[in-house]
Structure 1
């Protein structure tokens, strides 16, 4: 969709950007994902256009898988379709190393303060000491659960649950007559959809994508245990049609009171506890992602971030927008409009030192603990040759991960067995890696 906004605010808003505003003009085309925080950002851009009246914003808002495909095609071909792109911790190191992104080390607003970015998040957006993207929000994953249903089941959620406890709780909370399902998990195919969840889950089961010689590992006992446990959970205690459900679909189910538990991105916490959108806002608890006692939890590390393609013809105006959207001033704007609990989480150290935020967001500490618990350089129980918790940081992974995700989604839909899905995943991954020269 395309939105051109002209608005005027008071002098106090204009002063926030110093001298940067007067120097910027042009049209900035922004490709972004249709997540709640991004939609909120679009609704608040009157503030930006008041500060930068000579910059026009054009929005291209897409579903996650479509966004990734479009942005990847555009940047790899130097198409120049977008001035600002929404990408994550998978793309930034690869694209930055290829000189496909503009450095953000210079030309940002004076008060933007890159040193305030959480080290765990900044590290994933930096290549050889150069920052190539600004985090809009950072996340790990955790358990969100209905405290009322847990109490009715006679159970108490540990701060650090095991997968066995999750299965026990899912069974106890399922009430199909009331259309309440004990567990909601991603089933929609995609390297960033079901495979983000299953790769992180696999880490906690001792699974890994590759051994140290880049041999695919889907024929391992650890992957068989992971996929069979997942399919058992979802088949017996998950919602119907789960193979079509990604982040947004499960968010809607949880907000409607249909899920006893949901293991997904920590950024969802503000949406499930917002009484405007969530029917169960006053009955939500949080816990770390589960483990199996092997030393790894099933949580990931991610940041949806804003970056500038090297093909952009409007770099200065794009930096002005990114400075606004990812700066501390935007955080304060959201807090003033919608409350501290709804500000974009997981990006800045100062946010987790802000007493107003900590008091308003009961999930804040769990979010920070989950982010800090993820280790992209050592994601699995056994040694691996790659970095990345819920992905493998190589260019070929996006295609391979999506193909493997299609096999696992088909197994969830009952179109093949777990054994068949794993055999297919092993063949796909081996063939693609051999073709790529690994």
Structure 2
């Protein structure tokens, strides 16, 4: 059948309009970490795309160490690979100060920015400007198997010391049944094993640097802290502990392989989800342990979303960030998998929600640890830096990872504590000299 000239013209016009619509669609490339909450964000983001058909989301999900390296390289070189970066309290103020991030100057009124915890907002700001919005925030807590503790006839103190933890681990360690007394991060990285070991060191009176930026790693305080951490893993840890990071330990605990685990408070929601955890209803929660001083023994961290100035889709990127960090998004997660699993630690309204408080027995403790973590006063002796689990200078990303490799070697049994601390002191001093902090 022959088509009329009018029909041909109409078909051509429709095709042109469809082509134009396709061209008009904005692509937003998101780089994020492979933590469970971010996997949920990717899943639920289909709802954002349905509501915003002019925006297409492109995801790059990476292991924590890889993500940090890729983002640092990309933003420092102005590479422009990503429109949304998943960063934290370490990067946001430094990258904002350098003019690498788009500030959140005009947050919509219905976002209710004042509902976001001030300590978290302040941590993501520089000079009064906010450079990232928190997806979730966390501190640390002690997770333990309440059923195993009951069977062993032992009780977890509300505020344990590391000495308490050692004694308890001995009572519940049962490798013949596939249960290990203690899981802790051994995997090297400034945000992996060092993010956990540094608060331990703080609580034994250690510090990374003195007021003149001289490294302080070869001290009795560091030796006691590292020895405590390593001995726990050597005596009561699972095989291959030197390779276990956050995700590996989370999987082990969720699978019933760990009797105790000290790590991020955000894990509590995952462990309460029967689709992902075999220990639902069998988990107890306590404050994070300390050594000699109950100060600096637990950190404040937030995985947050930011837009680099190199992004060509800044408006669309910020639109997605407002959606993913909103009250409505928290409700979406609650509808998907229950209130206990929602992203924690960011909003006052979450902790005033009776449904959340009822579903999340860990909520009060999470809030307590977040509110008592003080990044500006985390050590017994004075220091020239801000940070609890890290040192707030750009060089720490490399320094912390190098030291983390030394400490992982101790856990693996290929170095002694003294050898690792001597090597850490030397490499840190060399890095600080090269960076101009020391002569």
Instruction: Report the counterpart of residue 362 of structure 1 in structure 2.
Output: 361
Instruction: Report the counterpart of residue 253 of structure 2 in structure 1.
Output: 254
* Residues 146 and 283 in structure 1, CA contact (< 8 A), matched pair in contact too: yes
* Residues 187 and 246 in structure 1, CA contact (< 8 A), matched pair in contact too: yes
Is 1:114 the equivalent of 2:113? Answer: yes
Instruction: Report the counterpart of residue 87 of structure 2 in structure 1.
Output: 87
Matches within 5 A, 1:123-162: 123-162=122-161
* Residues 273 and 337 in structure 2, CA contact (< 8 A), matched pair in contact too: no
Q: Deviations over 1:223-260 (max 9, x none)?
A: 00011111111000010100000000001100111101
Instruction: Report the counterpart of residue 315 of structure 2 in structure 1.
Output: 316
Matches within 5 A, 1:158-237: 158-237=157-236
Q: Which runs of 5+ in 2 are unaligned?
A: 1-23
CA distance in structure 1 between the partners assigned to 2:151 and 2:426 by the alignment: 45
TM-score (norm 2): 0.93
* Residues 103 and 130 in structure 1, CA contact (< 8 A), matched pair in contact too: yes
Is 1:50 the equivalent of 2:50? Answer: yes
CA distance in structure 1 between the partners assigned to 2:154 and 2:292 by the alignment: 20
CA distance in structure 1 between the partners assigned to 2:196 and 2:253 by the alignment: 17
Instruction: Report the counterpart of residue 415 of structure 1 in structure 2.
Output: 414
Does 223-232 or 109-118 show the bigger shift?
Answer: 109-118
Does 65-74 or 284-293 show the bigger shift?
Answer: 284-293
| SS of aligned partner of 2:247 | helix
| SS of aligned partner of 1:381 | coil
State the Cα distance separating 1:72 from its structure 2 match.
0.5
Is 1:98 the equivalent of 2:98? Answer: yes
* Residues 296 and 378 in structure 2, CA contact (< 8 A), matched pair in contact too: no
Q: Quick one: structure 1 residues 78 and 297, their matched pair in 2 at CA, closer, same or farther if it must change by over 3 Å?
A: closer
| SS of aligned partner of 2:266 | helix
Q: Quick one: structure 1 residues 297 and 394, their matched pair in 2 at CA, closer, same or farther if it must change by over 3 Å?
A: closer
* Residues 213 and 384 in structure 2, CA contact (< 8 A), matched pair in contact too: yes
CA distance in structure 2 between the partners assigned to 1:373 and 1:320 by the alignment: 32
Instruction: Report the counterpart of residue 244 of structure 1 in structure 2.
Output: 243
CA distance in structure 1 between the partners assigned to 2:312 and 2:355 by the alignment: 40
State the Cα distance separating 1:198 from its structure 2 match.
0.4
Instruction: Report the counterpart of residue 60 of structure 1 in structure 2.
Output: 60
CA distance in structure 2 between the partners assigned to 1:295 and 1:150 by the alignment: 24
Question: What root-mean-square deviation, in Å, do the aligned CA atoms of Structure 1 and Structure 2 show?
Answer: 1.1
Instruction: Report the counterpart of residue 280 of structure 1 in structure 2.
Output: 279
State the Cα distance separating 1:294 from its structure 2 match.
1.7
CA distance in structure 2 between the partners assigned to 1:320 and 1:25 by the alignment: 14
CA distance in structure 2 between the partners assigned to 1:28 and 1:84 by the alignment: 7
Instruction: Report the counterpart of residue 7 of structure 2 in structure 1.
Output: none
CA distance in structure 1 between the partners assigned to 2:296 and 2:283 by the alignment: 21
Instruction: Report the counterpart of residue 342 of structure 2 in structure 1.
Output: 343
* Residues 25 and 52 in structure 1, CA contact (< 8 A), matched pair in contact too: no
CA distance in structure 2 between the partners assigned to 1:179 and 1:298 by the alignment: 30
Does 164-173 or 289-298 show the bigger shift?
Answer: 289-298
Over 2 Å off, 4+ runs: none
Does 290-299 or 381-390 show the bigger shift?
Answer: 290-299
Q: Deviations over 1:350-400 (max 9, x none)?
A: 111111111111110110001112110011121111001100000100000
* Residues 30 and 82 in structure 2, CA contact (< 8 A), matched pair in contact too: yes
Q: Deviations over 1:180-202 (max 9, x none)?
A: 11100000000000000000111
Structure with bigger gyration radius: 2
CA distance in structure 1 between the partners assigned to 2:412 and 2:46 by the alignment: 44
CA distance in structure 2 between the partners assigned to 1:286 and 1:198 by the alignment: 20
Is 1:290 the equivalent of 2:304? Answer: no
| SS of aligned partner of 1:187 | coil
TM-score (norm 1): 0.93
Matches within 5 A, 1:370-409: 370-409=369-408
CA distance in structure 1 between the partners assigned to 2:324 and 2:429 by the alignment: 41
CA distance in structure 2 between the partners assigned to 1:146 and 1:273 by the alignment: 13
Q: Deviations over 1:283-332 (max 9, x none)?
A: 10101101134231521110000000010111100011001000111011
